[in-house]
Amino acid sequence: MSDFKNFVDDCLAQKSQLHAYQVGVIEPQIIKVLEEQNIEISTIEIYLTQKGLTHLYRPTKRSRNKALLLEDIYTIPTVLKYPSALFLDTQQNRLNLLYCFQNSKKCLKLIVDTKSYVHRGKKLTIVKTAGYIYPYDMKNSKYILIQGVWEMQGETVTLS
């Protein structure tokens, strides 16, 4: 059993000794894009915190069928490493990275907060939340595709 799976299971059972778990890193080419946009990040490492995990798996989200299934939560490190597409939310109050994964069955979006999250004096870059989306949800002028390819109802969005 993987350490990340143990972290998730322990957090959801409210018996984890860890506050945060490193689930990925921001790749150098993405850091360059962020620097060009004058967006600072706290760490190149991406963490999932206990609070973040319980937020994305909270009962209200589950009741609306928006919470990730456990099997999809376990894939968070893989989605961060191999997203189908990576978008930047350009709204000044957000500036989040949106790691999106698309397969024939569903689309998953992980929101990584570029602003610092502070815990015990340490600043972290975190997975803020996650959920299922429709492909066309990403067709919005505030989202800029910075890596990958995204299919939306027969239309393919690629980098130009």
Using alpha carbons, select from 40, 8, 34 the residue that is nearest to residue 21.
8
As averages over each run of 10 residues, the pLDDT of the chain (160 residues) reads 88 83 95 90 92 85 82 94 94 86 86 79 88 87 90 70
Position 7 scores a pLDDT of 93
User: What is the model's pLDDT at position 110?
Assistant: 94
Residue that has been written with the tokens 């959920």 in this structure: 131
CB 95 within 8 A of CB 87: no
Alpha-carbon distance of 37 to 125, in angstroms, equals: 17
Confirm if 144 and 90 have CB atoms less than 8 A apart: yes
Query: Can you give the residue range of the structural domain that contains 9?
Result: 3-157
User: Can you give the pLDDT at residue 56?
Assistant: 84
The model's pTM is 0.89
How many domains does the chain contain in total?
1
